[in-house]
Each structure stands twice: as structure tokens, then as C-alpha cells.
Structure 1
Amino acid sequence: MRDRINSVGNTKKITDAMKLVAAAKVRKAQDAVIGARPFSEQLVKVLFAINEKLQGEDVDVPLCEKRAVKTALLIVCTGDRGLCGGFNNFIIRKTEQRCKELRAQGVEVKLITVGKKGGVYFNRRKDQYNLVKRFDMGQAPSTQDAQTISDEIFAEFTSMEVDKVEMVYSRFVSLISAEPTIQTILPLSKEGQVCTVDGVCVDADADEIFKLTTEDGKFKVERSSSETEMSEFEGVMQFEQDPNQILDALMPLYMNSQILRALQESLASELAARMNAMSTASDNAKELKKNLSLVYNRARQAKITSEIIELVAGAAAA
């Protein structure tokens, strides 16, 4: 019993330390997310406005090309490590669900994983999923990391190996809330314009958000859709340069910024999930140690009482 109490106490020390480490890192990750969002969101608005204005013009931009969807590429962002509650598991389950939805529409699916957990999971199921590339998440996603992933996406899309690219990642909301999200990256077009070869819409620009809540003490998933807003200055936009040159220059920046933002949000969500998981584990360890100590003390007290009774009985008999 003493060994078990000591073991629980040592476990609590470990979970407390991991909680403090995650809490220290999550603040930095949170600042990175908040700092990247304004630029990323405004760039998307500008590009959508330009692309919308040029819909009726004969402008050839490969990354904006709309074609029937035969193959889709999913970029799946998980973590490199565990001990973060259901963070990795929920992203993996949503990826599997999305694969089923696309296959039901006759669309083939390819996967690129970012994070060891997702890479290991889908690599073990190669008979079920077409995993084309694996990347590690790392402790601090950089522009170089985003560029590497962007180059892989660019090669797949421009070579017409895939017709649609989506990212599955966890959007950071707060230290106690995250929203696993499916976001369309390519092509850049309006909702309903990207369809399968049979004409079935495949959610072009509408982001599908899965939000974790609780109901009657159990997990519940709420689904919602968020469309990309158009820029306010769309109607008066004028070009001094060739619009094709503008899009060619901005599209790589768009891809890099969207991927980097998703990586940063995923990392912040993972750290927050780990901090909360370790906090819960510490509380449980504290409660377990308390209960074990109570049982131990009762057993010890009963043994002492029994020995005293034996001594008294022996003395009385003498």
C-alpha cells in the first residue's frame, strides 16, 4: 500500500511538471496565433475579391482553376506526442469521417499528415488510406515548414494529381476550447463551383467546424459552417499591374500563410489540451492518493488496535 501511495505521489509530480511546461509554452503559441490571424484573414479576403472580379475574364491561374473533383488531398494536422486528452483522436476521427464522405461521392482521397501521431496511425492502415507524405509538427512551426508542405501541395495540384485540397486541423479558441476544422485551401473559388464529375458539390469555400461541447455529462459534437467573407473594397478594386501577375505573386503567399496559421493553431490547441489533461490527471492523482492514504491509515489503525487488544488480553490472562 505504501508503494502504491508513493507511486501515485510520483505520478502527480510528473503531471504537475508537464502541466507547468505546457502552460509556459501555450502562451507563446497563443500569441503566435493571434498575431498571424489578421494578416491571414485579410489576405484571403483580398484574394477572393480579386478572383471574383476576374471570374468573367480569360485569366489562367493554375491554383484558381476549377475542375471536376476526381481526387481530393487532405492535409491532416495532429501532434507529435500524446498525453493531450482526445486532441489527436478527434482529428483522426474527423479525417476518417471526411474520407468516407468524399468516397461516397466517388472522390478518391490522398492524405498528407503533419504530426507523428497522425502519420503513424494512417501509415499502419495503408490498405485503407493513400498516405503520400508525412511531416513532423515540431515545437515551433516556421515559414520553412509551411513552405515545404506548400511545395508538396503545389506539385500535387498543378500536376492535376488532385483537384481539391483541404486542411483538417484544430482551430484554437481559448485555453479550454478548440474547434476541429475542415478548411478548403485549393482551388480558390466560390462555394458550389467545385463539384465531382457527377456534378455533386464538394464544399468549396465553406469551412466545416466541429465544436466539442458537453450534454448530460457526455461529449457532444456541434457542426456549423463558416463561409469566407468578401472584401469590402471589391467593387472599386482597380489593377495597375496585370491581374494574372498579382495572383501569381499572392497565391504562394496565401498558401504559406494558411498552412502556417493552421500549424500554429493546431500546436496551440495541442498545448492547451495537454495542459488541461495534465491538470485533470494531477487532480485525480491527488484524490487517489488521499483515498489510498485513508485506506492505509484505517488498516494501520485496525492493526494497532488488534495488537493492543491482544496485549491487554494476554495481560488479563496472566
Structure 2
Amino acid sequence: MSAIASVTAPLLTASRSSSLRGASVKHGSNAPARVAAPRGALVIRNASPKEMRDRIASVGNTKKITDAMKLVAAAKVRKAQDAVIGARPFSESLVKVLFAINQRLSGEDVDVPLTKQRPVKKVLIVMCTGDRGLCGGFNNFIIRKTEQRVAELKAQGVECKLITVGKKGGVYFNRRKDQYDLVKRFNMGQSPSTQDAQTIADDIFAEFTSEEVDKVEMIYSRFVSLIAAEPTVQTLLPLSKEGEVCSVDGVCVDAANDEIFKLTSEDGEFAVKRVKADTEVSEFEGVMQFEQDPNQILEALMPLYMNSQILRALQESLASELAARMNAMSTASDNAKELKKNLSLVYNRARQAKITSEIIELVAGAAAA
């Protein structure tokens, strides 16, 4: 087991650098520079031939595992991507419908608490991570983004509450209850459903309508493409005045730049073909006539809005996690291949040197005789 652990750790650690390539991470300029050394020299120095053979076998077994995990993630990420692409136009159209109703009722005496802007004293943050690791820096990056957002709000004198979705984020913030007001924890699951979104929406709805919080934000990783994910802080409540789904930076989280990828094989290796997704959302221009009380219509649409936005965020986060895992396992497999090659090279050189030494001894003995 020690041999496997010594091989697996550097492979998975190296794979972290390839995940979430769409995000820029700056390192301190004072960090000491590391000089790259051959992997074989790092792990088999002064090792016996048997130990070297065992380590070569361990690397080979590790590569089989990472290859299998890469294939599983690749199969799942396409399904998750289809769910993301299909959900975006509906959620955006629903927001436009709500905005149109809001505009129509702006001159009437109708109280709509979920669209009412009030002074922000407390913010509820819903953050989405994964349930498992081995996906590069995906979980850590979302956690750091959440910590940064909480620090920004506290610096402005705003109190923060947290709801976590995903075991990794839940465990992290649960261990730091003295620093963060953790309200509730949920698991992400392998396939987010409307029931999961409804459960989360009920807690959010209760917090906002009871005026326990004045604003609800959602932090998740927006799926951009197979090799890029964009950490997003989206304002969930109150509803945007412009009728758009936007992040706190004013960037619209729309479907205009969606990208569908298709996995193919070229020369026995994975290849990715990218195609622009046709997800244009038309403007809502209907003339509305209310047969029911407008309050009843809005009360029926608001839960649907909440569910669609939360489900969308869960699906995007899951797709980003699977893509990050696929990239991490791909890099780990490449590292294993390189490491096995270097180990075999050093082993063969040592074996050749031993054989040469024995031949020289035999020749020297024969000459002396």
C-alpha cells in the first residue's frame, strides 16, 4: 500500500493544475522556485530491483484506475451538459415573464415581496460544491470564492448566513461554525432533481419572506465548456429589475455562449469537437390579460422561478465538477504514463549496468587465469 500511495499522490497533485482552466489563480511572488526533476529520480533512488519492479507495477495499476475514472466522468459529463443546455432557455424565459408581469403591475397597488428591494443588512449565501474529491481544485476554488464573498460583505457591515450544497463544502464550513453562520447542509447527489431543488428553495423562501435576510446569493461554478468553468456569484432574490439572470458583477448568465462538445477518438486518444449551441431566447412580447388576481399568479410563478434557478445552478455545478474530474484524471493518466516510462528507463539502466559489471568481472577473472 505504501508503494501505491507514494505513486498516486504526485499523480493526483499534479492533475490539480489542469482543472478549472477558465479561472485565474495568482500565486505569491515570494514563493521559492521549484526545479523540475525527473520523476524516476524522485521515487526510486537507492531502491532494490524488486522495489523498482513493484513501483512500476503500482504506477501501471494507478493508470488503469485513473483511465477508468476518466471514462466514467466523460460518460456522465455529456448527460449533465445536455441538462444544463436544456435548462437555461426555460429559466431565462421564466425570468422575462416575471419581469413583464412586474412591469404591468408597477402602477397598481400589488405587494410582491420577492421583487421588493429593501436595505441589505443580512445576506443568505447558497454555495454549491461536490460530494466527492478527485476533481482537481474544483471544490477548493468554490470554497475560496465563498470565503472571499463573505469577507467582502462583512467589510461592508453586512451579516451573512450560509447554506451549503455538497458534502465537501458542508464539511468545510461545519468545522468552522465559530466563523460562519451555517444554517443548513444539503448533499449534491449524482443527478439533481426538481425535488432536491424544491427542498432547498423552501428554506430560502422561508428565510427571505420572513425578512430574516434581505438578499439571497448563489455561488456555483457555471459550466462554460469541457475545459473551462466560471465561478459565479448570482443574485437569486430579489428578482432582477432588468428581467435578466445576472451575477453580482452585472455579467448576464445567459445561454448565448453555450458550447456543446462531442467526444470522439483519434489515434486511440480522446478528442473533443466543439459546436455552438443554438439556445437563443426570444424576447417576451405577449399581451397579458389577467383572469385571476395578479397576486395569485405571482405566487404561483415565484416558486417555479426559485426551483428553476436552483435546479439550473445544481446542474451547472455538477457538470463543472464532472468536467474537472475528467480533466484531472486525464492529467493523472498522462503523469502515470510518463512516470512509468521514467521508472522503466532507470530500472533498465540499472539492470544493464549490473549485467555489464558481471561480464567485466567474468572477463577479468578469465584473463587472470
Alignment pair present for 1:225 and 2:276: no
**Counterpart in the other structure of 2:40:** none
Separation in structure 1 between the aligned mates of residue 307 and residue 70 of structure 2, nearest angstrom: 31
Structure 2 distance, partners of 1:233, 1:29, is: 28
Kept in 2, the 8 Å contact 1:84–1:271? The answer is yes
2:7 paired residue number: none
Name the CA shift for 1:279/1:231 in 2 (closer, same or farther; >3 Å). Answer: closer
2:95 and 2:245 in contact (8 A); partners too: no
Deviation at 1:282, TM superposition (A): 0.2
Instruction: Give 2:168's match in structure 1, choosing from 91, 97, 117.
Output: 117
User: Residues 1-318 of structure 1: matches in 2 within 5 Å?
Assistant: 1-190=52-241, 206-208=246-248, 225-226=251-252, 232-233=283-284, 236-318=287-369
Q: Deviations over 1:41-61 (max 9, x none)?
A: 110111122223333432112
Q: Confirm or deny: 8 A CA contact 2:235 2:246 kept in the other structure.
A: yes
Give distance in 1, aligned partners of 2:202 and 2:297. 19
Q: Give the Cα–Cα distance (whole angstroms) in 1 for the partners of residues 211 and 282 of structure 2.
A: 29
> 2: distance between equivalents of 1:67 and 1:266?
29
2:30 corresponding residue in structure 1: none
Inter-partner Cα distance in structure 1 for 2:324 and 2:350 = 39
Cα distance change, pair 231–187 in 1 and its aligned pair in 2 (3 A): farther
Q: CA deviation at 1:62?
A: 2.4
Residue aligned with 1:89, SS: helix
Cα distance change of structure 1 residues 66 and 73 upon mapping to structure 2, 3 Å threshold: same
Structure 1 residue 238: Cα displacement: 4.2
Question: Residues 189 and 41 (structure 1 numbering): CA distance in 2 closer, same or farther, change over 3 Å?
Answer: closer
Deviations, residues 226-266 of structure 1 (Å, cap 9, x unaligned) = 28899844695443432222111100000001001110111
Cα deviation, 1:269-294, whole Å, max 9, x if unaligned, reads 10011001100000011001001100
Partners of 2:103 and 2:141 lie apart in 1 by 35
Which amino acid is 1:110 matched to? Answer: K
> Contact between 1:53 and 1:234, CA under 8 Å: does it hold in 2?
no
Change (3 A) 1:279 1:208: farther
Alpha-carbon offset, residue 180 of structure 1: 1.0
Q: Please, what is the CA RMSD of the aligned residues?
A: 2.1
Q: Contact conserved, 1:85 with 1:277, CA < 8 A, in 2?
A: yes
**How far apart in 1 are the matches of 2:128 and 2:339?**
35
Question: Following the alignment from structure 1 to structure 2, what is the Cα–Cα distance between the partners of residues 227 and 67?
Answer: 24
Corresponding letter in the other structure for 1:160:
E
How many residue pairs get aligned? The number is: 292
Report the secondary structure of 1:207's partner residue: coil
Q: Is this contact kept in 2: 1:50–1:234, CA < 8 A? A: no
Q: TM-score by structure 1 length? A: 0.87
Where structure 2 has 5 or more consecutive residues not aligned to the other structure, the ranges are 1-51, 256-280
Q: Percent identical across equivalent pairs?
A: 86
- The answer to whether the 8 Å contact 1:171/1:178 transfers is yes
Q: String of CA shifts for 1:199-252, please: whole Å, max 9, x gaps.
A: xxxxx974147xxxxxxxxxxxxxx72288998446954434322221111000
2:129–2:142 contact (8 Å) kept in structure 1:
yes
Q: Which amino acid aligns with 1:314?
A: G
SS in 2 for 1:140: coil
**Conservation of the 8 A alpha-carbon contact between 1:45 and 1:228:** no
Mapped partners of 1:234, 1:105: distance in 2: 39
